[in-house]
Structure 1
Amino acid sequence: MIRLHHCHQTRSMRSLWVLHELGVDFEIVLHAFDKTLRAPEYLALNPAGRVPALEIDGEVMFETAAITEYLCERFPDKGLGRLPGEIERMDWLTWVHFAETISQHAAALTQQHVALYDDSMRSPIVMKLEAKRLEKCYAAIETRLNANYDRAPYLLVGGFSAADISVGQAIYMSRHFARIEPFPALSEWYGLITERPGFQASLPPEGAELLYQKEFYEAWDG
């Protein structure tokens, strides 16, 4: 039995996308993005009070990169991972974990633009600084994709993998705060991977309560 605890438009979407791409049977427990994640019942699954939490065969995991690694090793025939000893293993691990570098900047901007309820709490300096940091992440992805241009349209020459899922989901969140259009290779790659049925199935359904009420949040000048 596989059960994913999930909130729309959060890091748990990364695990949801992996599960859809794997094509395995699983259940979703949908949570609101609020203080109910601090309830004792949920803290027993994820002591940080965040999503995701993955219940699998009587055990519980949290942290998206760990979940990604475990699922790819558990279902190696799906080709989403690069196993120990394989030539692309090092690069695969690097990009799976680079997603969290992107996400930490997106999370800081989510706090500034969405979570803080009073303008006096917001910092124009933090908003602009974190948006620039996202652009530096975009530049790193752009460089990688350009290096692969003649061999593959993905982060790894060996083809689509959970590295694309991890980074792609991080971009899905971060593009609310830093535009990807100035990065042509990144934009083309993002368009390609988000056409996949696995990504589409991971999006919030129509009418769902969304974390992001705007398509894009401009930096605030105070």
Structure 2
Amino acid sequence: MITLHHVEQTRSMRTLWLLHELEVPFEVSIHAFDKSLRDPGYLAISPAGRVPSLEIDGERMFETGAIAEYLCERFSPDRLGRMPGAPDRMAWLVWIHFAETVSQHCAALTQQHVALRDDSMRSPIVMKLEAARLIKCYDAIEARLGGGILSQDYLLMSGFTAADVNVGQAVYMAQHFAKLDNHPNVAAWYARITDREAFQLSLPKDVPLFDRTFYDPWPVE
């Protein structure tokens, strides 16, 4: 049996999306984004008190990249995964883990926009720099999808994979802070992958993660 420990509007959404794509039986244990993640019982599953964590056949996993690699290797080696020896294995690994490059900037911006309650604690310089770094990430995805003569529908020429899931979820969060207006290939790709039923099933269904709204996305020049 598979149990996903999940907090809505966090990185664990990408594991939830992937599980829906895999169409394997699983359960979801939804947690609040609060100090309960530091309870000894949960720390026994995820030592850093983070999500996602996965319980599977008596074993425990954490870290989204590792989880994606394992689940694809076990349940979908040729459709959502690319195993050793596959021509695009290298690209698959690169883009599976590029999601964390995007997400680290989202995390910094979430802190600045939302977690810091007093406006005097925020840094406009940090907010602008991190938003600019997100734009650089969009540039990389735009180029991958075909900024020149050639274009492709997904991050791999061979089709939709878990790489699109991981990076797609990161871009889902990133759009709170930086828009896709100047990245038409990314916008088209994002619309394509988020039209999938598995993505729709992974969207938040309960209360928002934060009790305050985000500031407007930073206008990066």
Same fold (TM over 0.5): yes
What number of residue pairs does the alignment pair up?
219
Q: 1:48 to 1:158 in 2, by over 3 A?
A: same
- Quote the offset at 1:210 in angstroms: 2.9
Corresponding residue number in structure 2 for 1:124: 124
Question: Percent of counterpart pairs with the same letter?
Answer: 63
Kindly report which structure 2 residues correspond to 1:133-152, keeping only aligned pairs within 5 A, or say none: 133-146=133-146, 150=150, 152=152
**TM-score, normalization: structure 2?**
0.94
Kindly report which structure 2 residues correspond to 1:76-87, keeping only aligned pairs within 5 A, or say none: 76=76, 79-87=79-87
Corresponding residue number in structure 2 for 1:98: 98
The SS at the match of 1:157 is: coil
Corresponding residue number in structure 1 for 2:204: 204
**TM-score, normalization: structure 1?**
0.94
Q: 1:148 to 1:19 in 2, by over 3 A?
A: farther
- Any gaps of 5 or more consecutive residues in structure 2? none
Letter in 1 for 2:140: A
Structure 1 segments, 4+ long, off by >2 Å, are 147-152, 207-220
Counterparts of 2:92 and 2:212, CA distance in 1 = 33
- Any gaps of 5 or more consecutive residues in structure 1? none
Q: Residues 147 and 185 of structure 2 are in contact (CA less than 8 Å); yes or no, is this contact kept in structure 1?
A: no
Counterparts of 1:23 and 1:191, CA distance in 2 = 22
Are residue 194 (structure 1) and residue 194 (structure 2) matched?
A: yes
Q: Residues 33 and 209 of structure 2 are in contact (CA less than 8 Å); yes or no, is this contact kept in structure 1?
A: no
The SS at the match of 2:3 is: strand
Letter in 2 for 1:121: M
Corresponding residue number in structure 2 for 1:185: 185
Q: 1:168 to 1:86 in 2, by over 3 A?
A: same
Kindly report which structure 2 residues correspond to 1:1-222, keeping only aligned pairs within 5 A, or say none: 1-76=1-76, 79-146=79-146, 150=150, 152-205=152-205, 207-211=206-210, 213-214=212-213, 217-219=216-218
The SS at the match of 1:98 is: helix
- Quote the offset at 1:29 in angstroms: 0.1
Counterparts of 1:173 and 1:159, CA distance in 2 = 23
Letter in 2 for 1:62: F
Q: 1:215 to 1:96 in 2, by over 3 A?
A: same
Q: CA RMSD in A?
A: 1.8
- Quote the offset at 1:118 in angstroms: 1.0
- Summarize deviations over 1:9-40 as a string: whole Å, max 9, x none: 10000100000000000000000011110111
- Quote the offset at 1:103 in angstroms: 0.2
Q: 1:219 to 1:148 in 2, by over 3 A?
A: closer
The SS at the match of 1:45 is: coil
